[in-house]
Structure 1
């Protein structure tokens, strides 16, 4: 599910679901930064009990940030993450629990998407490196100096995958951070902290949801617990709805604002229009101005998305005139979640019929309301879809397919023609300068080497600093540059020389232009409209025969018999996928091994005879971390694996070398940019992979074996916390046991001592209370006189998820609005 598309749809259709976050900033007194006191009431008027962090939404922005210079060491990444978590903590101020969840080994259904992303990332990195080297040589030929390339630990973002050395060090860094804050921050004093690192199987957000679901309806659980979940994925909204916890908020960066498009066309920056442009290059955090002061870039704003308001909107939206029975909002919520699976999720390919940007969710809701009486009931019952009703519903949606495809083809044709016109105008130079210039801007000549090309001379009586473009004859970034101040006696030629000299001797400014130019070149290269040999659309959705052509082109089914056989199997596997995803959202993994074995989805109108399928799943076991790395990594990322595992990926004679193609087809599938296309990679044969791994697993060192193992969540509290006595007592009882025996021991938590949290604790393998905690980050100090205790935390015993708000919940006051 595309995050910007879904979030935009939701925020525009239901505007009151989002609320801007009020942030308190640290105060600086005599040059000393005084941190925000998070023990004080939350300025947003909400007091949250639990804050859950989907750490992927923190690791990636710190690993390759957009608003600051890229880090070159793991330590820089960790420090950025500490600052990031601090900021989120200040916004939310949880009073009972902070749960930090890093992605562990994923179900096989997700691994196919991970494999596609990582192969694409590797291919894009290779293309980028080649383009960067070509552009660097071009700059050098023109005498424009660039800072030398520096070595970096963070050159491959694929290392953000369970089992790598980076993820192992990250776990230690976060344990250090937790100890640091618990020992020193008054806002952390009374909370419990759970760290679920990459050695705990499961995706981060689903580990969080398992925790929430399994706490509900147990003794001591507060039905009015206030939850806040931070993360960047759109499916977090669906997962939060699926918990049926009323007091739930999603925290995330603002994806868009209504005025976001109002940017200056000269410098591309928001906040002013061209008439007020000063021609200043965009600055990033970590850079310095002429006075040597660090540039402060405005922080990205954040929003809360309140689930209770969304539930209220859905209650209003799904009013059915003269319903055949009394409508149950909780069942409506479950059906809404299920319907949204058709517009995209991480486990099934996108159904060609439905696009969020084309109003697909509105269509699904309209069809649902229209067909509700004929359905005879809800589409789902908790985690189980009613396949007979699902078929009726999706067939009704499929009746619109011809019109959808015909309209899409018309719009695509118009869009393509408009883009071609704009590109042709750009090549002719029609839009090099605006037709009308505001008085405050003076058109200045473009430069071809040192030769004046065109344009009037700026008058000394007009403003002294004006905006122009530098063009060396081999392309221009279009980035504005300041032209030196002209005195009344100055000549244009002198100004040209002065500008060129200033430009050539500033490697840092050249670097910024270099980066901007590289980004522009890579984007242009990925744009299908720039291709000399654009991919032919052989399917032609909307034209007669589109379905037959689709199965022939996408599934290589040539004859009518092959097409029908393929269609039936695709529909069966897709229906399995719908059942698997629904179970995953409501009960957790029902099969670690199941996956959808095709690159493409069926059409809505293909989903027939669904109630004839006998669908069942076998739970199985998650992959070990190194096995997942073998399953999702391209050979270019083999450096992150132990030596013998590397050879399986890089040796041409490896029995599984076919899993690691260096080049692969990307089907644009009607999309404009290459990253939107479908990477047609071979699916991993699990049996072959595991057979080869068995032969080399004995070669692992002790440290590698630890990285390749399955572990459990860690629980941290201060010595002053009521739980500390239970942890100390348990550790004392198990001191004489061996490490393997200690892990098997578990003691049920008393919810009266744990703020209502249920589950089990086990003694940790090492010292639960080290007096000194050594810093893994070179620039940060060791923690002396440590007051933090650690234990292993295990979830409560599995029980069925009750898809209703718990007894005793107090519903929030309804909003004063009308749709």
Structure 2
């Protein structure tokens, strides 16, 4: 939906929906770190029953972090993830269930967006590597030393996709982590843990919602269950509303936009105000502590409380003299449906509606105004009433001319302002005539040993002029005849060199980020893309279908407009069903790069919309559908060749370059990647020819599996698992996993469903660590 835009709109319009999280920190006693006891009451004054983790919101920040050096090994990624989950667990402290959901194979409707993202990630990585090489050469010419480039397992973030070796190893690492915590952490002892890994089809957040929907209204389910969902996607808010569960919170990092942070005016740092300032020097990116570890400031977290949002919405949608008694739950469903028009993962958003321009406010105002004449609600559970939808969206479309004219005026002003600022910066008008404070190296930053020995910092030692002077190790000011003094001097010189290399590396990283942003800015382009559509000027509709859809005649235009409106309406119905009941078609997708205008959605009641369920892709099929050739290394050899061999019958699916339509946006990452859509029949026909070449391990990665349930041996559910194992544990694994028994909701804490045995021992006495540096679990008590 555009996370910052929607989240910011929500938090500004309804400020009391967000509450800062109170965090309890581990303490250190005589040098020993004592972890937080999560079995004690939650300091936030709320006790949650269930915590759900949308794991992709954890994997990505740990795989390619923005605020610290990137990890180079999978083991570092896993350790970072374990710390991340520990922190979330301390905040929430679930008392019944922890559900960890990793994205599995997605519906085809989502795969097109995944394909666009991954192709762009590969292109951006290639451009960044070329720019980094240029900057390295520049640093070399200046005599500025840089650490040697490290080999990294994490250079391609596209491996965070079902079916890759990384995702298989991640599953084992998380199983180890769960065993560790259930064995040793008192706060985990009485909870159930479900791990839904990448071999279970479905997007992570939708697997979670499917679980919640499946539990409601079944025996033993407590209607006052308190749910907490962690994730970074804005649509989690919509999904939480769609459950109609009242006691629901979304946990997420505070979303800052530039200039929004509360800074201390004394030291200029974020995280405290002047009254609490301790006068500490401002930390720079890449600064290290006494142990040589990078210092990473902790990001604050917030709860977004759905029950408060529901109260706001109930107040917002009050209508004087309604035609009948209002059912608020159906108003909630309509609000969710309306928000689909401003953006979702399955349809391009309408050119008419932009969240930053107040689109959601407009939709709500039109809904309230038109409600009496619409004759009722837009939706009935998961089914839109297309007659009423047409009435509503046509009313929205009546504002299109005004919206486009205002947008054109604002874009013109913005363009003039940015060009003026860039021209000033080029001339140097905005530079302070005095030397800037942040260019001077504070005396306090120099090592005590150098100052003590009489070495005085040169006035030239600041961030520009000291480059050549500091390209070699600084010599010790005094050299004693004793060997220990010489050794100390050598160590100090080496330390200084390492510190300088680290500083240069951070400078390189910062300049690389700036260079990439500058290149992606259309205002820096010598030949900016011309806006041929000119929304707001007479004839904009015809120009839109001519430029975006290739229509040449009025008949073509009308035919395309009708088909685009049909497919978009199908998409609205598909998404609504997906949010409320799950996938209604694994194969359906929107076959265009652009959306229609609001006023194009006409004659909707004439449409006959039906879906065929079909079945999900296998993991390798999805990889072949979303990966660029640059990420082929993550696939088996024969699959790889289908993506890279010039004679491959499907080589046209993997262009090395592609058009990006800026579509009126400023930065290239906001543009639309004009990639060819995958022909499913052609793709699967070629894959079928090479499937028999898979090794057993690859075949396992390419298979569909079930959720895994973990409990400590002291949990009331464990005797039922022991009983199942004693009855059927001696059977062959392939037969054993087919036998399932119904759960009794009493010992399971109100959870319904069926359990079957995993392959192998359900409670191995020793669980080997799959992560370097972490110990094996020698007396395992977890099932």
Q: Secondary structure at the match of 1:772?
A: coil
Aligned match of 2:521 in 527, 544, 549? 527
Over the aligned positions, Cα root-mean-square deviation in angstroms equals 2.5
Deviation at 1:283, TM superposition (A): 3.3
Residues of 2 paired with 1:73 and 1:542: CA distance? 51
Residues of 2 paired with 1:164 and 1:231: CA distance? 22
Q: Is the 8 A contact 2:118 2:628 kept in 1?
A: yes
Deviation at 1:730, TM superposition (A): 1.1
- Judged with a 3 Å threshold, the aligned counterparts in structure 2 of structure 1 residues 268 and 638 are, in CA distance, closer, same or farther, namely farther
Deviation at 1:443, TM superposition (A): 2.2
Q: Is the 8 A contact 1:254 1:301 kept in 2?
A: yes
Q: Which digits, 9 at most, give the CA deviation of each residue in 1:377-435, with x for residues without a partner? A: 0000000000000000000000000000000000000000000000000110111226x
Q: Is the 8 A contact 2:143 2:467 kept in 1?
A: no
Residues of 1 paired with 2:313 and 2:395: CA distance? 21
Q: Which digits, 9 at most, give the CA deviation of each residue in 1:630-675, with x for residues without a partner? A: 0000000000000000000000000000000000000000000000
- In structure 2, the residue matched to 1:23 is 23
Residues of 2 paired with 1:492 and 1:663: CA distance? 49
Q: Is the 8 A contact 1:278 1:467 kept in 2?
A: no
Aligned match of 2:736 in 733, 742, 760? 742
- Judged with a 3 Å threshold, the aligned counterparts in structure 2 of structure 1 residues 414 and 710 are, in CA distance, closer, same or farther, namely same
2:435 is aligned with 1:443: yes
- Judged with a 3 Å threshold, the aligned counterparts in structure 2 of structure 1 residues 499 and 149 are, in CA distance, closer, same or farther, namely closer
Q: Is the 8 A contact 1:279 1:467 kept in 2?
A: no
Residues of 2 paired with 1:680 and 1:2: CA distance? 20
2:643 is aligned with 1:649: yes
2:643 is aligned with 1:672: no
Residues of 1 paired with 2:457 and 2:715: CA distance? 75
Deviation at 1:735, TM superposition (A): 2.7
2:694 is aligned with 1:700: yes
Deviation at 1:295, TM superposition (A): 5.7
2:692 is aligned with 1:721: no
Residues of 2 paired with 1:292 and 1:743: CA distance? 49
Residues of 2 paired with 1:23 and 1:334: CA distance? 34
Residues of 1 paired with 2:446 and 2:429: CA distance? 24
| Residues 490-569 of structure 1 aligned to structure 2 (within 5 Å) | 500-502=468-470, 505=473, 506-569=500-563
Deviation at 1:680, TM superposition (A): 0.4
Where does the alignment leave 5 or more consecutive residues of structure 1 unmatched?
A: 435-441, 445-465, 471-480, 790-819
Q: Secondary structure at the match of 1:590?
A: coil
Residues of 2 paired with 1:468 and 1:589: CA distance? 56
Residues of 1 paired with 2:181 and 2:77: CA distance? 18
2:587 is aligned with 1:607: no
Residues of 2 paired with 1:490 and 1:433: CA distance? 24
Q: Which digits, 9 at most, give the CA deviation of each residue in 1:530-588, with x for residues without a partner? A: 00000000000000000000000000011000000000000000000000000000000
- In structure 2, the residue matched to 1:449 is none
Residues of 2 paired with 1:4 and 1:623: CA distance? 32
Deviation at 1:467, TM superposition (A): 4.0
- In structure 2, the residue matched to 1:765 is 759
- In structure 1, the residue matched to 2:35 is 35
Q: Which digits, 9 at most, give the CA deviation of each residue in 1:463-495, with x for residues without a partner? A: xxx54379xxxxxxxxxx99999x9x9996799
How many residues align? The count is 747
Aligned match of 2:439 in 463, 468, 471? 468
Q: Secondary structure at the match of 1:250?
A: strand
- In structure 2, the residue matched to 1:283 is 285
Q: Secondary structure at the match of 2:187?
A: helix
Residues of 2 paired with 1:705 and 1:592: CA distance? 22
| Residues 306-321 of structure 1 aligned to structure 2 (within 5 Å) | 306-321=305-320
Q: Secondary structure at the match of 2:33?
A: strand
Q: Is the 8 A contact 1:56 1:103 kept in 2?
A: yes
Deviation at 1:142, TM superposition (A): 1.1
- In structure 2, the residue matched to 1:578 is 572
- In structure 2, the residue matched to 1:302 is 301
2:347 is aligned with 1:345: no
Q: Which digits, 9 at most, give the CA deviation of each residue in 1:202-252, with x for residues without a partner? A: 000000000000100001110100000000000000000000000000000
| Residues 160-239 of structure 1 aligned to structure 2 (within 5 Å) | 160-239=160-239
Residues of 2 paired with 1:490 and 1:736: CA distance? 75
Q: Which digits, 9 at most, give the CA deviation of each residue in 1:750-788, with x for residues without a partner? A: 001100000000111111010000000110000011001
- In structure 2, the residue matched to 1:807 is none
- In structure 1, the residue matched to 2:365 is 366
Residues of 2 paired with 1:38 and 1:265: CA distance? 36
- Judged with a 3 Å threshold, the aligned counterparts in structure 2 of structure 1 residues 222 and 600 are, in CA distance, closer, same or farther, namely same
Residues of 2 paired with 1:539 and 1:84: CA distance? 46
Q: Is the 8 A contact 2:102 2:198 kept in 1?
A: yes
Q: Which digits, 9 at most, give the CA deviation of each residue in 1:597-653, with x for residues without a partner? A: 000000000000001101000000000000000000000000000000000000000
Residues of 2 paired with 1:372 and 1:382: CA distance? 18
Residues of 2 paired with 1:292 and 1:197: CA distance? 36
- In structure 2, the residue matched to 1:252 is 252
Residues of 2 paired with 1:356 and 1:22: CA distance? 31
Q: Secondary structure at the match of 1:737?
A: coil
Deviation at 1:282, TM superposition (A): 1.5
- In structure 1, the residue matched to 2:415 is 416
Residues of 1 paired with 2:154 and 2:755: CA distance? 36
Residues of 2 paired with 1:273 and 1:735: CA distance? 61
Q: Secondary structure at the match of 2:711?
A: strand
Q: Is the 8 A contact 2:143 2:468 kept in 1?
A: no
- In structure 1, the residue matched to 2:156 is 156
Q: Is the 8 A contact 1:145 1:510 kept in 2?
A: yes
Residues of 1 paired with 2:465 and 2:777: CA distance? 57
Residues of 1 paired with 2:268 and 2:391: CA distance? 49
Where does the alignment leave 5 or more consecutive residues of structure 2 unmatched?
A: 474-499
Deviation at 1:166, TM superposition (A): 0.1
Q: Which digits, 9 at most, give the CA deviation of each residue in 1:330-381, with x for residues without a partner? A: 0000000000000000000111000000000000000000001001000000
- Judged with a 3 Å threshold, the aligned counterparts in structure 2 of structure 1 residues 325 and 493 are, in CA distance, closer, same or farther, namely closer
Residues of 1 paired with 2:432 and 2:658: CA distance? 41
Q: Secondary structure at the match of 2:25?
A: coil
Deviation at 1:152, TM superposition (A): 0.3
Q: Is the 8 A contact 1:16 1:309 kept in 2?
A: yes
- Judged with a 3 Å threshold, the aligned counterparts in structure 2 of structure 1 residues 145 and 752 are, in CA distance, closer, same or farther, namely same
Q: Secondary structure at the match of 1:223?
A: coil
Please say which of residues 750-759 and 293-302 is displaced more in the overlay: 293-302
Deviation at 1:734, TM superposition (A): 1.6
- Judged with a 3 Å threshold, the aligned counterparts in structure 2 of structure 1 residues 503 and 375 are, in CA distance, closer, same or farther, namely farther
| Residues 779-798 of structure 1 aligned to structure 2 (within 5 Å) | 779-789=773-783
Q: Secondary structure at the match of 2:748?
A: coil
Residues of 2 paired with 1:44 and 1:264: CA distance? 26
Deviation at 1:318, TM superposition (A): 0.1
Residues of 2 paired with 1:615 and 1:736: CA distance? 50
Q: Is the 8 A contact 2:205 2:236 kept in 1?
A: yes
Residues of 1 paired with 2:716 and 2:283: CA distance? 54
Q: Secondary structure at the match of 2:737?
A: helix
Aligned match of 2:586 in 577, 588, 592? 592
- In structure 1, the residue matched to 2:490 is none
* TM-score using structure 2 length: 0.92
- In structure 2, the residue matched to 1:710 is 704
Residues of 2 paired with 1:32 and 1:271: CA distance? 27
Residues of 2 paired with 1:756 and 1:651: CA distance? 54
Deviation at 1:738, TM superposition (A): 2.6
- In structure 1, the residue matched to 2:142 is 142
- Judged with a 3 Å threshold, the aligned counterparts in structure 2 of structure 1 residues 592 and 50 are, in CA distance, closer, same or farther, namely same
Residues of 2 paired with 1:490 and 1:554: CA distance? 61
Q: Is the 8 A contact 1:343 1:350 kept in 2?
A: yes
- Judged with a 3 Å threshold, the aligned counterparts in structure 2 of structure 1 residues 659 and 257 are, in CA distance, closer, same or farther, namely closer
